[in-house]
Amino acid sequence: MTAETIVGPRAQDKFPVYDGRHLGAGAVQAAWGYHSQTAAIEDGDIWELCKVPAGARIVGGFFICSDGDTGTEALEIDVGWKANGGSGTYDSASVSGLVNSGVLTGDGGEGMQAGYNLRHFAVMPGAVYFTKETTIQAEGIAISATHQDFSLGVCVQYVVDPTVAA
């Protein structure tokens, strides 16, 4: 089988991206998306989860995933972004620009119940920014040893800076 790209409901072209410009400078906003995976994944599978508007400066967020692997844990899913066609510093694709998960054990931790993984991400406020609307995506890096249906989601917090929008 070959890797595939799955476009979630909040990452589809028809989904409106809220830029929040009328809120004023410094108002933190969030974009989020999710997917329920029932088929075994391939290395390189991509889940497009949500979008941030042109001028978005990332300030933080989190990635959450239920346990998609039974037996010897091997599943790894990183979170980054898709290339957006812009020429800014962060407009090229990045597989793990937000989260380099390592093996997702599903053992809870960080106050989570067993069976879940949570990875917070924080960047120097505003240091990662996009000049054009950008899709936030997760990518399968290492596949499950023994697949189990799972769900994954991301929440990205950002402020909009119109001075960096193309």
What domains are defined for the chain? Answer: 5-10+26-155 (2.60.120)
pLDDT value of residue 108: 61
Three-state SS for 34?
strand
- Nearest 5 degrees, angle CA 102-CA 49-CA 6? 90
pLDDT value of residue 124: 83
pTM for the whole structure: 0.87
pLDDT value of residue 10: 75
| pLDDT averaged per 10 residues in sequence order, the chain, 166 residues | 80 74 75 93 94 94 90 89 95 96 75 76 87 97 88 94 86
The Cβ of residue 109 has, within 10 Å, a number of other Cβ atoms equal to 12
In sequence order, the 6+-apart residues with CB closer than 8 A to the CB of 51 are: 10, 11, 15, 17, 31, 133, 134, 135, 136
Q: Are 100 and 78 in contact (CB under 8 A)?
A: yes
